[in-house]
Amino acid sequence: MSNRRFDIQSQPGFGLIAMITFFALYLPIAALVAYSFNASDSLSVWGGFSFRWFVAASHNLAVQDAAIRSLIIALWAAGLATITATMAALATTRTEGYRGLTLKYAAINQPLMVPEIVTAVALLIVFSRIKVWTGYSGLGYLIAAHTAFCIPFAYLPIRARLESMDLTLERAAADLYATPWRAFRYVTLPLLRPAIIAGFMLAFVISLDDVVITEFVKSGGQDTLPTYMLGQIRRETTPEINAIASIFLALSTVLIVVFFFINRRKPQA
């Protein structure tokens, strides 16, 4: 019997299948970006190279309003989700194992396993009752909904970093009479900072491009950029939508690349 390890990349046809898969995934995106520079009013007829639709999008007050609202919601949701995820990660890793710990871990990651439409309908039902009782219909509902949905995305990199961290320095700080708070502030937090930043950026991207939950929870006049784009596609489609999507894609790509480089850093402890 051969002891040679199985390597999927050495299998016949692997390279061809990989190329076909990447081609199918990225060809539509490449076409979208290319036609965002189309001078024509048509999405399918090339009329020459132009920045016309980027200029039009930058002067569109509805786009500006939706973009600002999206950024406000994403920043609040990512910040709150990251704080909550950090506390949850500490509570589930810096403790002895006990009955129910696995259940808590599953509960934190529940939004990843449940279809997003189910979460959206559940939030709609809850928030509709709260709106009736309080009369409040502001952005707080969208921020709360996005925060709840983003917590597991921020939790995963933070928990992974904590599990890879050696407890030696934290125990040494305790031996030197540091309080739990001082040990966390001066030892754990600096070592955890890259994962916290990565979790924040991942939650930010997830909140920024969410459509399903936002469409169900938002009130009138609370369109985010993704829901604005969805509404425009239903009415009249021009390459302006391509331009907005290209800007969205560029922002998401930059954040994901930064997240990748932060997350690949080797632990220092």
CB-based contacts of 126-129 (< 8 A; 24+ apart in sequence): 127/217
Top-confidence residue, 8 or 69: 69
Distance CA 161, CA 164 (A): 5
Residue type, 126: V
Q: Which whole number is the average pLDDT over 169-186?
A: 78
Top-confidence residue, 184 or 199: 199
- Give the SS3 label for residue 122: helix
Q: What is the pLDDT of residue 115?
A: 87
Mean pLDDT is highest, among 30-44, 211-225, 240-254, for 211-225
Q: What is the pLDDT of residue 263?
A: 62
The 10s digit of each residue's pLDDT in 150-173 is: 999 999 889 988 888 877 777 787
Query: Does 73 have pLDDT greater than 90?
Result: yes
Distance CA 57, CA 79 (A): 28
CA distances from 269 to 88, 99, 195, 234 (A): 21, 29, 13, 52
Q: What is the pLDDT of residue 144?
A: 93
Tell me if the domain spanning 60-263 has CATH number 1.10.3720.10: yes
The 10s digit of each residue's pLDDT in 35-71 is: 888 888 877 778 888 888 888 888 888 888 988 999 9
CB 177 within 8 A of CB 131: no
Q: What is the pTM of this model?
A: 0.81
Query: Does 110 have pLDDT greater than 60?
Result: yes
Q: What is the pLDDT of residue 269?
A: 45
Query: Does 9 have pLDDT greater than 80?
Result: no
Domain locations in the chain as residue ranges: 10-50, 60-263
Q: Model confidence at 3, in pLDDT bands (50, 70, 90)? A: low
Query: Does 242 have pLDDT greater than 60?
Result: yes
Mean pLDDT is highest, among 100-109, 118-127, 170-179, for 118-127
Query: Does 90 have pLDDT greater than 60?
Result: yes
